[in-house]
Amino acid sequence: MTSTDKCKLIAVVGGGVIGGGWVARCLLNGITVNLYDPDPNAPRKIDEIMVNAKLAFGKLIDGPVPPQGKLHFTDTIASAVAKADLIIEAVPERLDIKQSVYRDIESAAAADTLIASSTSGILPSDLQDKMTTPGRLVVAHPFNPVYLLPLVEIVGGTKTSRAAIENAAHLFRQLGMHPLHVRTEIPAFIADRFLEAVWREALWLVKDGVATTAEIDDAIRYGFGLRWAQMGLFETYRVAGGEAGMAHFIAQFGPCLQWPWTKLTDVPELTDDLVTMIADQSDSQSGAYSIRQLEQIRDDNLVAILRQLQQRDWGAGQTVNAWQTTLKTAAIAALPQPAELIRSYEHTVSQDWVDYNGHMTEHRYLECFSHATDEIMRQAGIDDAYVAAGGSFFTVETHIRHIDEVMAGEPIYVDTQILRVAGKKMHLFHSLYHQSGRLLATAEHMLLHVDMKLRRASEPSDAIAAMLAEMAAGHAALDRPSAAGRAVGLAP
């Protein structure tokens, strides 16, 4: 593939925590995945990862998304990689295992297919040492959970081509990620160098009885961790320097670096007693939750932070916004022909959408239908520029029928039929379904086009009117829904 091609098939070798996260991110981007993992429990583990990934994805991404990609389990590495556009290696952190995997990959994959290792510290020059085509190997080091966190460190070895680096950055941007090119090949790259430093210091604090695992985590999550999440290290310290900026901060706090505060140059011996102490404290801290529960809690917290950053288009929020635009573009390309119902909304019911009865609340049904109406308007060309110029449609009448309940974690979608478009009026009929095809609710919407500057009904622009007329003509041959035109109290 070149640095401008669209990725359609990705092979993942290894389906553990990181490999499974890669599988989820690829599938949610609408990309087909071939997965090779000899573990007989791999299908179950991937299913469990996908449950959490889809929940988090549904909470993070608004608007249309492409249909989920297909997952194929393969019996051999060769069958997984033969036709792949990108190969992601996520096997255990042992050089001999990885090099053996590369031999199998190279015997079956096209000679120019990019190979990306998920290693968190092995040098790419060592990884590619025994390869026949080493120029196409890069390290693509992600962070757990891979399906949510956007950072991926791209590292080349001594034999990696510049084209491979550029290609990797292009492909991972397609997956909604922020590729960070580590220009100098160093062990543990950039991010894990920081984590290793913090980890060493934390081990000493536990060993010396200064703090427990819970207290150390509290120091991070209630303090500087929140600053780092949106501003990083140097920008945080720039702000701490006040109006005088970074130079003042360094002048004021730089001498502290010479004080004997840290033990970063030393490592405590991980004796059985220290390991037991850490494990016991960790059990006391978090043992009330299962790993899957902790993953869901982590994902919900990350989504909340990312959503706030999205609203401000800052930091990782910029990457998520760009990803959301990419997903919408892919979703538009996958839309049905005009003579078919329009899939106007897809979502997974999140925990905060359910009420005391355990099912989705009434106002969330309306929210789903509102998103569906917005999508019809968007397809007609009513974008931000059109609204900014003063034109839009306002909903003037709505009738919702609540037919069945739906629970948290369940996937839903809306199909829309355009019943009529005439001058200022647009008449829509939405049907909300469970992914299984079970009808949950319907909504009939009547909208009027409005001149928002004059605050009164008006004719849409000629371009919008023409697009709506074309869409409505495509639906003219469809059967009219039996519930259309109903009012409260009328028999079905």
Domain ranges in the chain? 9-189, 192-288, 335-475
192-288: in CATH 3.30.1490.100: no
Annotation: CATH topology of 9-189? Rossmann fold (3.40.50)
Question: Taking each helix axis from N to C terminus, what angle separates 42-60 and 291-312, rounded to the nearest 10 degrees?
Answer: 30
Most confident of 24-38, 182-196, 408-422: 24-38
Q: How does residue 241 score in pLDDT terms, banded at 50, 70 and 90?
A: confident
pTM of the model: 0.70
The pair of three-digit structure tokens given for residue 427, joined into one six-digit string: 């008449």
Greater model confidence, 341 or 26:
26
Check: CB of residue 348 under 8 Å from CB of residue 434.
no
pLDDT in tens, 168-186: 999 999 999 999 999 999 9
pLDDT for residue 339:
63
pLDDT for residue 41:
94
Four-way CATH pick for 335-475: 3.40.50.2000, 3.40.50.300, 3.10.129.10, 3.30.70.580: 3.10.129.10
Check: CB of residue 412 under 8 Å from CB of residue 462.
no
Long-range contacts of 376-384 (CB under 8 A, 24+ apart): 376/342, 376/344, 376/416, 376/418, 376/426, 376/428, 376/471, 379/332, 379/335, 379/342, 379/467, 379/471, 380/464, 380/467, 380/468, 380/471, 381/463, 381/464, 381/467, 382/464
pLDDT for residue 144:
92
Strands 178-182 and 411-422: unpaired
Average pLDDT over residues 9-17: 96
Average pLDDT over residues 340-366: 89
Q: What is the DSSP letter of 145?
A: S
Q: How does residue 260 score in pLDDT terms, banded at 50, 70 and 90?
A: low
pLDDT in tens, 41-88: 999 999 999 999 999 998 898 777 888 999 999 999 999 999 999 999
| pLDDT more than 70, % of the chain | 95
- CA torsion 478-482-485-491 (nearest 10°) is 180
